[in-house]
Chains A and B, each alone.
Chain A
Amino acid sequence: MISLIKDFFSKFLKDLFKKKKHLRMGLYGPPNGGKTTLANRICKDWLGEEMGAVSSIAHETREIQIKEQINIKSKGKELTFNLIDTPGIATKIDYEEFMKVGMVEKKAKERAKEATKGVIDAIKWLDDMDIVIIVLDSTLDPYSQVNITIIGNLQAREIPVLIVANKIDLKKANIKRIEAAFPQYDVVGISAKYGKNADEFYEALFVLAG
């Protein structure tokens, strides 16, 4: 009984505290899905500035990046949130893969070490999110265990999720495959790089935030 009362007050205080702060919106997904490109798209569209560097080499984002107080407006509605761009989650990181794209051994090892820390931080931050956008590369097979584990963990924490099928500007893009893999979630196809379908994405954000 005492624990029930404790739980009630802790939830009540947490909710009260949450309401005073802005919504925390996390960008999650495997490496190279386009999380930072999407973060840059959002920041460029609504703040007029970019958020972070992007690269074709995996694990470019190795630290949590936060942009506070992004205010988006659409059809008379308004939404303010703190955007949290997280490092790509992976189950393996091999410094030799970075050397294959021309990085010297010392740099490659440093990058791998930072990338492992980034994955740990991204997982730790899961508990702090109010809503999450999963950013997937729509040209790749969505049935990877990393995707399933991230989504399963968000589901267990009852965090609302929107799936973004990114890179729809590419020929191999297949949104239907992502929709079939995760039928219980809304999927929005976009090209974060070129801004294709950005309006549809922002509309979906309003729905997600409730």
Chain B
Amino acid sequence: MVTLSIVPYTEIEGLSSLGRIRKLLNIAKEDKIVLLQGRLRKEEEAELIKVTMEEINSEFKGIELAVINPLETKGEAGISKIRNDMISMLLGDRHGLTVVGPASIVKSIRKDPHKIELLTKDSRQHHKKRKR
């Protein structure tokens, strides 16, 4: 069974960068898939990878990460660009969606700029592995 944990942006808004990373990673380490409303900053994404690497051991194998930002449209120009810039200015990192899943459960996340496909591992295989 896969557990999804939905985190509204308000829950991370007031946190420091490390606090945001810690919050997401702690949930993922509980074998839950995090759906965060909004995005981390680019530097925070790199920091999340760094902290994840520091915590990898024989139990925790890392994470799968995907960020979708609907405002990052390729080759946009004119009114649509101005509109997206305005939305971006008003909403900041609140716009978009971040998915963080433990690598023991999430096999891969396929993404293009507008869509995320999350593939989970075979639950029986996962159980088998955890029993060892």
Q: How far is the CB of A107 from chain B (nearest CB, A)?
A: 14
Instruction: Tell me whether A120 and B53 are in contact (CB under 8 A).
Output: yes
Q: Which residues of B contact A117 (CB under 8 A)?
A: 53
Instruction: Tell me whether A93 and B56 are in contact (CB under 8 A).
Output: yes
* Range, interface on chain A: 20 to 34
Instruction: Tell me whether A89 and B49 are in contact (CB under 8 A).
Output: yes
Instruction: Tell me whether B62 and A91 are in contact (CB under 8 A).
Output: yes
Q: Which residues of B contact A90 (CB under 8 A)?
A: 49, 62
Q: Does B21 contact A (CB under 8 A)?
A: no
Instruction: Tell me whether A149 and B45 are in contact (CB under 8 A).
Output: yes
Instruction: Tell me whether B109 and A145 are in contact (CB under 8 A).
Output: yes
Instruction: Tell me whether A91 and B42 are in contact (CB under 8 A).
Output: no
Q: Which A132-166 residues sit within 8 Å CB-CB of chain B?
A: 141, 143-146, 148-150, 152-153, 155-156
Q: Which B12-63 residues sit within 8 Å CB-CB of chain A?
A: 42-43, 45-47, 49-50, 52-54, 56, 58, 61-63
Instruction: Tell me whether A152 and B53 are in contact (CB under 8 A).
Output: no
Q: Does A170 contact B (CB under 8 A)?
A: no
Q: What residue of chain A has the Cβ atom nearest to residue B102's Cβ?
A: A92
- Residue from A112, A123, A141, A145 in contact with B65 in the complex, judged by beta carbons closer than 8 Å: A145
- Residue from A94, A95, A126 in contact with B46 in the complex, judged by beta carbons closer than 8 Å: A126
Q: How far is the CB of A151 from chain B (nearest CB, A)?
A: 9
Q: Which residues of A contact B64 (CB under 8 A)?
A: 91-92, 145
Instruction: Tell me whether A92 and B63 are in contact (CB under 8 A).
Output: yes
- Given the known interface contacts A91-B49, A141-B110, A153-B45, the answer about A180 and B74 at a Cβ–Cβ threshold of 8 Å is yes
Q: Which A45-72 residues sit within 8 Å CB-CB of chain B?
A: none
Q: Which residues of A contact B66 (CB under 8 A)?
A: 145
Q: What residue of chain B has the Cβ atom nearest to residue A154's Cβ?
A: B42
Q: How far is the CB of A39 from chain B (nearest CB, A)?
A: 22
Instruction: Tell me whether A112 and B43 are in contact (CB under 8 A).
Output: no
- Residue from B43, B62, B65, B110 in contact with A93 in the complex, judged by beta carbons closer than 8 Å: B62
Residues of A participating in the B interface, judged by any CB pair closer than 8 Å: 89-95, 109, 112, 116-117, 119-120, 123-124, 126, 141, 143-146, 148-150, 152-153, 155-156, 180, 183
Q: Could you pull out 17 A-B pairs where Cβ atoms are within 8 angstroms?
A: A91-B64, A92-B63, A93-B56, A94-B61, A94-B62, A109-B58, A119-B53, A120-B53, A120-B54, A123-B47, A145-B65, A145-B66, A149-B45, A152-B45, A153-B42, A155-B42, A156-B42
The 9 closest A-B pairs by CB, nearest first: A92-B62, A92-B103, A152-B42, A116-B53, A94-B61, A149-B45, A119-B53, A145-B65, A156-B42
